[in-house]
Chain A
Amino acid sequence: MRREWLLLLYPRAWRARYGDELLAALGRDRLPVSQVIDIVRGAIDAWWSPEVRRATAARPLLACDRGHAAGITPRDGLIGAAVMVGGSFMLAILSVTATRAGWPALGRVGTDLGFLGPFTLSMPFWLMPGTSRRAQTTIVGITLALLIASSVISNVR
């Protein structure tokens, strides 16, 4: 008997949550009868236990998988957010300082880049997971160069 067929004994929500794990836990050896009986008992429990049904129905996608499904780890998300917030803060300070120091054009460049600059720098962490470091550097570098160039051309004479 194909082991996937045994999974059909379980409720759909249970299969969605634990199906792959159960198949992986079975290993590759031939299934002894005792294990088949245990799987059938587990299926009866999955249908009849309100606790198990509630647990599997309420969580089609685990919190730890929401980012992981896209290849993003919580650490990547935090670093990306830190780059966004930190970069915006630093550019805001630069913009204010330059304007007060008598360089309004540089201040306007800082303002232009205030959101797009840090966003571009944070892209490798949440928009480009899995791509090579070289590709990330190239894309981010070219985007930043274009942003800075367009801002300088439009603000500095």
Chain B
Amino acid sequence: MKQQRDSLAELGRFSEPALYIMISLAEGPKHGYAMTQDIETVTGQKLGPGTLYGAIARLETRRWIEPLPVDERRRPYRLTTAGHRVLRHRLDSLQTLARVGRARLAEG
């Protein structure tokens, strides 16, 4: 599978937390605590704060998410247009991977 230059995979151990964060923000802006709650509900995994902000810093550097003004000591983030594009590409890749995997399981 061909990888795009701006792929989430280049984030190394932060690629999965970054994907969860972007999926959470696809619903609308959220601050860190709301993201961890949402991610725990959706995936069953609780992101640690060190991992969460390590991923947020990387996503911000790439301008895939952007910070909004602080609201009651909590800063919300939102997905940027570039972030939408990267997330869509990643989800398409995962869908293809899942389809191929399921097909091979059925054959085997």
Q: Which residues of A contact B (CB under 8 A)?
A: 18, 20-22, 24-27, 34-35, 37-43, 45-46, 49, 51-52, 54-56, 62, 64-65, 68, 73
Which residues between 20 and 73 of chain B lie within 8 Å of chain A, taking CB atoms?
A: 31-33, 36, 48-54, 56-58, 60-61, 66-70, 73
Would you give the shortest CB distance from B24 to chain A, in whole angstroms? 13
CB pair A42–B53 under 8 Å, yes or no, is yes
Q: Give chain B residues whose Cβ lies under 8 Å from the Cβ of A55.
A: 57-58, 60-61
Closest A-chain residue to B13, C-beta based?
A45
Also in contact, A54 and B32, with CB within 8 A (given A18-B53, A18-B56, A68-B69): no
Q: Which residues of B contact A (CB under 8 A)?
A: 31-33, 36, 48-54, 56-58, 60-61, 66-70, 73-75
Q: List 16 A-B contacts (CB under 8 A).
A: A18-B56, A22-B32, A24-B31, A24-B33, A25-B52, A34-B48, A38-B51, A40-B50, A43-B50, A51-B57, A51-B58, A51-B61, A55-B61, A64-B68, A68-B69, A68-B70
CB pair A42–B51 under 8 Å, yes or no, is yes
Contact of B33 among A27, A41, A73 (CB under 8 A): A27
Contact of B74 among A24, A43, A54 (CB under 8 A): A24
Also in contact, A42 and B49, with CB within 8 A (given A18-B56, A21-B31, A24-B31): yes
Would you give the shortest CB distance from A63 to chain B, in whole angstroms? 9
Would you give the shortest CB distance from A82 to chain B, in whole angstroms? 21
Q: Give chain B residues whose Cβ lies under 8 Å from the Cβ of A65.
A: 69-70
Closest B-chain residue to A66, C-beta based?
B69
Also in contact, A20 and B73, with CB within 8 A (given A25-B36, A62-B67, A64-B68): yes
CB pair B74–A21 under 8 Å, yes or no, is yes
Q: Give chain B residues whose Cβ lies under 8 Å from the Cβ of A39.
A: 48-50
